[in-house]
Amino acid sequence: MDDVLLNASEEEVPRRMAHIIRHTRAPYRKLAVWMRSERPVISLEASRQLNLLIDRWEQHAGMQIAQDAVLLAEALHDEIPHYSDKVREEVHLAAVRMASWNLGGPATQEGAYLVAVERLIERSAGSPSQEIAAASDELLAQYLDNLSTREPQRPGIEPYDNLNQVALNTGLPWNQVGLPNLPRVSQQPMVEVPQSTEQVASPVAEALPANQRVSLGSQPLKLPPLVSSPRHIDPGPIMPEALPDYKSLTTLEVIWKLHAQSPRLGQHARQELENRRFSAADIELATRLSHPEIAQRLLVVRELPLMQREDRKTWLYYMTKDPDESVRYAAAAALITSSDPRLLRQLKAELTADPSPRIQSLIKR
């Protein structure tokens, strides 16, 4: 930081900072560093100068400010980790305003400007994963504070050697007078009864509904009574459920099936892509482009233009169908730099119906 600004009083900081900005060709790196100053007066004045610069550019938006806007976005992007939450929010709002400008220049220069602004918007935005992690840590801390560390008191166990003992020297524990007098049974010699060899049908067999409905001739069918439960019948091996037919799906729909909850469905999707002549490298790239996390998909979209693949435009075109707005915007911003008029016409025709206002503004340029 310049000594002329570091040693200035609070009244002199606005005048000296404006003087440095006017007499410097590209003061954007200094402005980004001033915004993270430990002196509040310098940080606040730098934020005010940033808003004044954005207001001035917004009135004369055109390709003449494209290069300066890219330098400002890159400088702010590099200093984002050192900013406080309030300064980060101000930078994010400024980047959103810059993204809505229509420079009206060549697609190559405007594409570089849009990529720089998009990187700044993503870096300055708050991370949902960090908020979720902080909330989880807070809940864990509350649980540990409320958790009792005292050991539970075990109930005492009576010694087993004195359990259910009856003191016989004090008499019986029940009232013997209240017991009824049972008659004596005279002992008589047992007479053997010859067993009959004929089988006598149970009277229950006559009442069975099946015996009333089934008959042989004039005599009803006598079914033996059920004396035991039937044996358990093994159902045999359980056959797996039939896999769905992916042949009728589009290639993009099959790619999104790679991350199905069932491993069998994910392997089935890989097999379908192999049947459509996808190589192992193609399937690996498709797996990354359909990752459940938005940050992973955004990273691959930025890497695609630098990959040595002839079909990288096709993969970028797939990403314009992504469910997330930021992924679709990044893919469309990379494709508008193409020199293929047929691809540009098709991209404009399909993204005209996109619900995102940012993508609508990008296509109209």
- Convert the pLDDT of each residue in 113-134 to its tens digit: 788 888 888 888 865 445 455 5
The pLDDT of residue 271 is 92
Judged against a pLDDT cut of 90, whether residue 274 lies above it is answered with: yes
Question: What separation in angstroms does the CA of 85 have from each of 36, 126, 349?
Answer: 11, 9, 40
Parallel, antiparallel or unpaired: strands 215-216 and 219-220: antiparallel
- Where residue 284 falls among pLDDT bands split at 50, 70, 90? very high
Model confidence band, residue 183 (pLDDT cutoffs 50, 70, 90): low
Tell me what pLDDT residue 129 has.
47
> Which range among 28-32, 209-213, 358-362 shows the weakest confidence by mean pLDDT?
209-213
Distance of CA 271 to the CA centre of its chain: 25
Q: Which of 2-6, 145-149, 166-170, 281-285 has the lowest mean pLDDT?
A: 166-170
pLDDT for position 60: 73
Name 94's Cβ contacts closer than 8 Å, sequence gap at least 6: 50, 51, 54, 76
Query: In the chain, pLDDT over 90 holds for what percent of residues?
Result: 13
Residue 111 has pLDDT above 80, yes or no: no
pLDDT at residue 3 greater than cutoff 80 = no
- Position 310 scores a pLDDT of 86
Tens digits of residue pLDDT in 305-342? 888 888 888 889 888 989 999 999 999 888 888 888 88
Least confident of 6-20, 36-50, 265-279: 6-20
Range of lowest pLDDT (17-26, 224-233, 288-297): 224-233
Least trusted range by pLDDT, from 48-52, 217-221, 277-281:
217-221
Per-residue DSSP letter, 187 = -
Domain boundaries, the chain: 3-109, 251-364
Tokens of 354: 């996109």
Contacts of 323 (CB under 8 A, 6+ apart): none
d(CA 76, CA 70): 10
Least confident span in 103-107, 246-250, 282-286:
103-107
- φ/ψ region of 327 (left if φ > 0, alpha if ψ in -120 to 50, else beta) reads alpha
Q: What pLDDT is stored for residue 195 in this prediction?
A: 62
**What is the average pLDDT across 98-103?**
77
Mean of pLDDT over the chain: 76
